[in-house]
Chains A and B, each alone.
Chain A
């Protein structure tokens, strides 16, 4: 299966801990997008990355959240000192980057629960 992979699928953290969410894009894709889905709030854009480069982080909170997409390995969304409000489903999507607006392919998501 060469689709977008995310792990873990479910993550439970206590307040103050760190959460690390991983996303491996579809084969041949080098552009990754992270979204957060909260109940009754739809899908909110967080950050757009290419390999070793953050293109757009306008949707990501300035504190506690960071994202990277290294030359080798998956993209990582990191949430430090988690709070209950961080509980949500986090989805990543990938594209090849060849065309603006091309279809984004989504992963299965990571459901984060903060106790």
Chain B
């Protein structure tokens, strides 16, 4: 079975601070990895995804994530956050072996950026 763990449930940062949100997954095979963002009162939107190739993935709005296979991690980073990044961030994993595998989401990390 696959699972996702997000370590930080609430993060508060000042504007211009750097961000790193942890995500670890558990799955024995090849995976697809995603980060979604949910702005207050809105639906989930895809920030970035990793399927294969370069483990450093660039997403929208200056976000990036690095897939480290040996650590089963896919941490999200942004060098300088803005007030508009205040949102909830979800890491998700989907195993790619054996046909259909549902996407499993982490519990989410609420980010509050203080002006």
- Chain A contacts to B: CB under 8 angstroms: 4, 33, 35, 40-45, 48, 55-56, 58-59, 91, 93, 100-101, 103-109
Contact A41 B107 (CB under 8 A): yes
Binds A, one of B13-21, B43-51, B72-80: B43-51
Quick one: given A45-B104, A101-B101, are A106 and B44 in contact (CB under 8 Å)? Answer: yes
Is B25 in contact with chain A by the CB < 8 A criterion?
Answer: no
- B51 nearest in chain A by CB position: A101
Number of A-B pairs whose CB atoms are under 8 Å?
Answer: 55
1/0 per position for B29-70, CB-CB distance to A under 8 A?
A: 000101010000011111001010000000000000000000
- Chain B contacts to A: CB under 8 angstroms: 9, 32, 34, 36, 42-46, 49, 51, 90, 94-96, 99-108
Contact A106 B105 (CB under 8 A): no
Contact A56 B105 (CB under 8 A): no
Contact A42 B100 (CB under 8 A): no
